[in-house]
Chain A
Amino acid sequence: MSQFIYKKPKQLQEAFSIMKENPAYSIIAGGTDLMVKMKDNRITAKVIIDVSELNDLREIKEKQGTIYLGAAVTHTEICKSELLRGFAPALVHASGLVGSPQIRNRGTVGGNIGNASPAADTIPALMAYGAEIVLASAEGVRSLALEDFFVGPGRTVISPGEVILSIEFNKLQATQAVSFEKLGKRKALAISVVNAAAFLEIDKTKAVVTKARLALGSVAAKPIRVSAAEEALIGYSLSDDKIKEVAKIVSDSITPIDDVRSEALYRKRIAGVLTQRTLIDAWKQLV
């Protein structure tokens, strides 16, 4: 492993100063992605900044219908949170499918996002909730739609001196539901071959979709939304034909690759299947 200095700031401001003084830094939270890269000497940082105990990054709270999820909250904590179990069950489901108990005990949602793997499990779930990501630096905070945060595998729009502070999204209304599904090679400790999440809002009297979000992972260079498929749902009830039509749009519009875990052709088919499953599940929660 390369040589570095380790710092664990107690305050966010202290973290910003360390970043300013040491431009060659890497942030560590749970370390479940970073440590694997360090072992392979893929990290050249001279200073490792541990954000796992910054209070500002550790909160899960709700204010006026918005849920604030601190970046350093672990998957285990997400799974145990009453608030999230009640108002973001599909996120709880996604976090519960990450790695193993050991990985979930240390791995954080901010790390899952910051690592920017196209296969990360919480990202499509959070995108389906319409989440925004909040970035903080010495200069202040800025927020952007989660889907706009990613550039490509391992690459994001985060600037030097910024940390991921939190993820924010609205509590679901009675007319809204989200569903998440993942396909891995086995049940535990499996990175997703494909994962998918669907958000539906319906007009209860007419039983038609009024709003939809479809997010998928491991089907492109970054987690994506498929807007053509979302639009095809608006104004319709979820008939078998509609589900098949939307699944086909998803399969046709994604650009997966062949890699160690799977092949592009298989991913296209599975993306369609997972789209169907998440749509049916979200619909069932509503009607």
Chain B
Amino acid sequence: MEEKMKIKFLLNKKNIEVEVLPNRRLIDFLRDDLDLIGTKLGCGEGDCGACTVIINGKTANSCLVLAPQVDGKEVITIEGLGDYDKLDSLQQAFIDEGAVQCGFCTPGMLLSAKTLLDENPKPSREEIMRSMSGNLCRCTGYVKIANAIEKVANANN
């Protein structure tokens, strides 16, 4: 029964071919099998958004996805957004605006913000607030996060 299956997918722009147990959640697969620990596990039930990743251009709660479900898809995790030498403009804005406190919600927040701006480069404040509605933050009160996203949006022409 415990038979692994082979899946192929694009992870952070790299082709990956791996064996995975069919009952592995995407979050555990990313963190424990692939060592990509930027994605956080909070509630495990779709409520907090700490586990947010991007699948085929759309955000998803990786705690509610089975690893084999990403076979043939494109997945982006926070590790694919930017790195220490070259931060994404959203990451830089989060730092500049003080939008990170404990940081637990930050990877998910950034990926939600990224898909928002990809689809809608000039969102209204209301649209920014809505885009965060699947990501809980216990620290910041959301205002600084919205400010950071707005800053990047304003730099978009």
Task: Using CB atoms and an 8 Å cutoff, list the residues of chain A in contact with chain B.
Answer: 1-6, 8, 28, 30-32, 35-36, 38-39, 46, 48, 50, 52, 76, 99-103, 105-106, 187-189
Contacts and interface: CB of A to CB of B under 8 A. Distances in A.
Given A1-B25, A100-B134, A188-B130, 15 more contacts: A2-B23, A5-B22, A28-B66, A31-B66, A32-B64, A35-B46, A35-B65, A39-B45, A46-B1, A100-B46, A101-B130, A102-B46, A103-B61, A105-B59, A106-B65
Contacts of B133: 100-101, 187-189
B105 to A, nearest CB: 13
Interface string B66-78: 1011010000000
9 contacts: A2-B23, A6-B23, A6-B69, A38-B23, A101-B130, A102-B46, A102-B49, A102-B61, A188-B130
Interface in B1-37: 1-3, 5, 22-23, 25
Given A32-B64, A188-B134, A103 B46 contact: yes
B41 to A, nearest CB: 11
A6 B68 contact: yes
Contacts of A76: 58
Contacts of B2: 3
B45 A3 contact: no
B23 A1 contact: yes
B79 interface: no
A39 B44 contact: yes
Given A1-B25, A4-B23, A35-B65, A189 B71 contact: no
A106 B64 contact: yes
B96 interface: no
A145 to B, nearest CB: 30
Nearest to B7: A6
A102 B134 contact: yes
Contacts of B99: none
B3, B66, B68, B71: most-surrounded residue (chain A CB, <10 A): B66
Interface string B94-130: 0000000000000000001001000000000000001
A93 B71 CA distance: 32
A103 B51 CA distance: 12
Nearest to B69: A50
Nearest 10 pairs of A and B residues by beta carbon: A100-B134, A188-B133, A6-B22, A105-B58, A35-B64, A102-B134, A6-B68, A1-B23, A102-B61, A102-B59
